[in-house]
Amino acid sequence: MSTTTETMDQYLQANLDGYIQEAARLCAQPSISMQHEDAAKCAELVAATLAEHGLDVQTFPTPANPIVVGRASGRSPRTLLFYNHYDVQPVDPLHLWTSPPFEPTVRDGALYARGAKDDKGELVARLAAVDAVRAAHGGELPCGVTFVVEGEEEIGSPHIARFVQEHLDLLASHGAIWEEGQINSDGQPLLSLGRRGILYVQLEAQTLTRDAHSGGASTLPNAAWRLLWALASLRDPQGRILIPGFYDLARPPSARDLAIFAAQPSEEARQREELGVREFVGGLSGEALKSAVFNPTCNIAGLTAGFQGPGMKTVIPARASAKVDFRLVPDQDPEDILAKLRAHLDAQGFEDVQVTRLGAMWPERTDPDDPLVALTVETGREVYGKDSLLTPLTGGSSPVYAFARPLGIPVVSPGVGYPGSRTHSPDEHVRLDHFLLASQHMARILDRFAGLDWCP
């Protein structure tokens, strides 16, 4: 181990208690996303905290909770960006918490509080890494750092994409550390290299001005049937999406991706057991199941029509609606898919079926061979003694795209979590040993980032 690394590790070990206290101070300030007064107070506390770590802080208002940015320059013009958030999930059901969610408590080697892991613990572990790198480099940083800490991650980050677009110079950087990361139950760091995009729409059919008695069903059109035919036109039972042009921009997995999938354990048996799956979509199994995340989806997230209570009501629903989410793979574009969906419905004679766009995120990927990925894996191996488990593409969506696409940077996600973190649940916590390892991992990445051999 180099002297620098040794110094950083010792620094973090020696100061662990202080950083846990710092995380606890942030957790003691409630900041549920929709409680805007609390969130504003937490933004102030975050700004003060970033300043205490030697960052130049600016706070940007949004229509809801402010975004806090803290920056420091380094010897190299390269900059590493950290995205985190200070808002937290609601705390219900309160009675399931062993200690109150906003009274941070250390017990059994872990800090318990809402936000201890997600995302205040992550933030402080990264600030600790900044301090450790400075301590090992005579107070300087080898590269610049930019912390972006927003307050609406838990409600879908409605303002972050625009913020990035409007502050491209401020946020210009060469790589990013995403807000959260974890190890799996074998102690392997997990490393997702991309997330799918999403187009979330509501489809609505209306066939009558009001519900009618079902005695009239021989003649009166039923909105539930109408919606059903429209939905049936979108996707076949094997999962193939029938909208013309839907797959035009969808890139299949590369040979490298398939090799990564092949090295992963199969989820098949576990999912059959835990979720009671009798048959996977399209009869998938084996290797095809592992790489199926590259198949974009059309998912009915909800259906509503007519009478839904117990017993009988004989009614022709006048209105019916469905929530539908399309998960998109690189390089599909939700706006393009929305236009194709509308065109398809029109072409099929469903001009009357309304489509309302409820949300959109773009897909993004980081090249598995990007030097930042290699650095994250290599330093992860040093700290955890394990190879990272790479995922070429994750099924879900996140605002990673909001940074990765306009800034043109690779994004990795090391962090303090583990499968028992109880994120979003009662008794959320971060283990102190995991906090230390994550900060040591992060310090190594920051220490070596400027020296990476790449072509930016």
| Nearest residue to 440 (alpha-carbon basis) of 3, 7, 119 | 7
Nearer to a second copy, 187 or 396 (CB): 396
Cβ proximity to a second copy: between 86 and 200 the closer is: 200
For residue 171, count other CB atoms closer than 10 A to its CB.
22
- Considering only residues 104 to 133 of the shown chain, the ones binding a second copy according to CB under 8 A are none
CA quadruple 361, 198, 200, 303: dihedral sign:
negative
Binding to a second copy by residue 304, rule CB under 8 A?
A: yes
Helix (H, G, I), strand (E, B) or coil at 358: strand
Nearest to a second copy of 263, 277 (CB atom): 277
Give yes or no for residue 220 binding a second copy (CB under 8 A). yes
- Which residue, 75 or 240, has its beta carbon nearer to a second copy? 240
Binding mask 359-398 toward a second copy (x if CB under 8 A, else -) reads x----------------------------------xxxx-
Least spacing, CB of residue 250 vs a second copy, in Å: 12
176 binds a second copy (CB under 8 A): no
- Residue span binding a second copy (CB under 8 A) among the ranges 66-74, 131-139, 220-228, 366-374: 220-228
Strand pairing class (110-112; 105-107): antiparallel
Minimum distance from residue 249 beta carbon to a second copy (Å):
17
Closest separation between CB of residue 9 and a second copy, Å? 36
Distance of alpha carbon 257 from alpha carbon 259, whole angstroms: 5
Alpha-carbon distance of 235 to 433, in angstroms, equals: 47
- Neighbouring residues of 153: CB distance < 8 A, sequence distance ≥ 6: 33, 85, 87, 119, 160, 179, 399
Q: Does 222 bind a second copy (CB under 8 A)?
A: yes
Q: Scan residues 427-446 and list those touching a second copy (CB under 8 A).
A: none
Phi-psi region of 206 (alpha: psi -120 to 50; beta: other; left: phi over 0): beta
Q: Is 352 in the site for a second copy (CB under 8 A)?
A: yes
Helix (H, G, I), strand (E, B) or coil at 408: coil
Site for a second copy in 318-337 (CB under 8 A): 320, 322-323, 325, 327
Pick from 58, 99, 184, 214 the residue near a second copy by CB under 8 A. 214
Contacts for 122 with CB less than 8 Å, ≥ 6 apart: 84, 179, 180, 181, 415, 416, 417, 438
Residues between 224 and 263 with contacts to a second copy, criterion CB under 8 A? 224-225, 228-229, 231-232, 235, 237, 239
Q: Residue 308 and residue 211: Cα distance in Å, rounded?
A: 14
CB atoms within 10 A of CB 37: 9
The reply to whether 69 sits near a second copy by the rule CB under 8 A is no
Which residue's CB is nearer to a second copy, number 199 or number 450?
199
Identify which of residues 175 and 317 has a Cβ nearer to a second copy in the complex. Answer: 317
Give CA separation, 242 vs 225, 246, 249, 279, 363, in Å. 19, 7, 15, 21, 20
Exactly one of 138, 311, 385, 456 binds a second copy (CB under 8 A); which one? 311
Question: Least distance from C-beta 267 to a second copy, angstroms?
Answer: 8
Contact with a second copy (CB under 8 A): which of 181, 317, 330, 371?
Answer: 317
- Looking at 48, 96, 277, 347, which residue binds a second copy (CB under 8 A)? 277
Residue number with CB closer to a second copy (96 or 232):
232
Q: Identify the CA nearest to 23 among candidates 46, 43, 40, 39.
A: 46
The least distance separating a second copy from the CB of residue 220, rounded to whole angstroms, comes to 6
> Six-digit token pair at 367?
């090249």
Q: Which stretch binds a second copy (CB under 8 A): 33-41, 85-93, 140-148, 288-296?
A: 288-296
Do the beta carbons of residue 256 and residue 193 sit within 8 Å? no
Q: Could you tell me the CA-to-CA distances from 104 to 9, 23, 121 in Å, in that order?
A: 25, 9, 11
Candidate segments 53-61, 184-192, 309-317, 448-456, binder of a second copy by CB under 8 A = 309-317
